[in-house]
Amino acid sequence: MVKQIDQKDVEEMMQKLKASWGWLVAFGIISLVGGFLCFSNPLGATITADYIAAFFFIILGVAQIVQAFSIREWGGFLWTIAVGLLTLLVGVILISNPVAGAASLTVLVGILLFLLGGAKIAYSLSLRPVSGWIWVLVSGLLSVVLGVIIFANFPWAAVTVLGLFLGVELTFNGVTLLMTGWALRNH
């Protein structure tokens, strides 16, 4: 059963949010600085993104192996160990050769952009009678174009795309946090 939200709950939440406006502005500034740093050194940001991904793969791989030993009697024990070892290996490979790891991750991002773009284009065509379907189509086409740009410029893209994408994300996140914080302060 879903709890009904009343006006008192909304007002309480607004007061809590208004009290935290300064934190949102601070996080927004930090995010903007991070975005600026990514744009000023896309290679460094790409390598950093590679290391972050590597550490997550290593943590996940170790956790899967530990979890497998906690349920040894289960029929999927060997598969869980195998997946954990492969995940751990991916993390180690990304750390041992970050440029090759960044290239692999960039290829994966390019493939995902193609697939996501194709899915959005197909989805937009199924929405054609609905108002606004064109924006889904445009989004799909942009995803495909980004995939083409990655593969058309692959040697350069392999060492910069992840850092540039991270810079875009941090910049938009920073602007969003700043605007939200200032809006709450003035509300």
Q: Identify the pLDDT of residue 1.
A: 61
Residue 168: what residue type?
Answer: V
How confident is the model at residue 32, as a pLDDT? 95
Query: Crossing angle of helices 42-70/154-186, nearest 10°?
Result: 90
Domain boundaries, the chain: 21-186
Mean pLDDT by 10 residues, the chain (187 residues): 71 80 91 94 91 93 92 80 92 90 86 91 86 86 90 86 88 88 83
3-state secondary structure of 41: coil
pTM tops 0.75, yes or no: no
Angle in degrees, 0-180, between the axes of helices 77-96 and 98-126, rounded to the nearest 10: 120
Is 164 in contact with 42 (CB distance < 8 Å)? yes
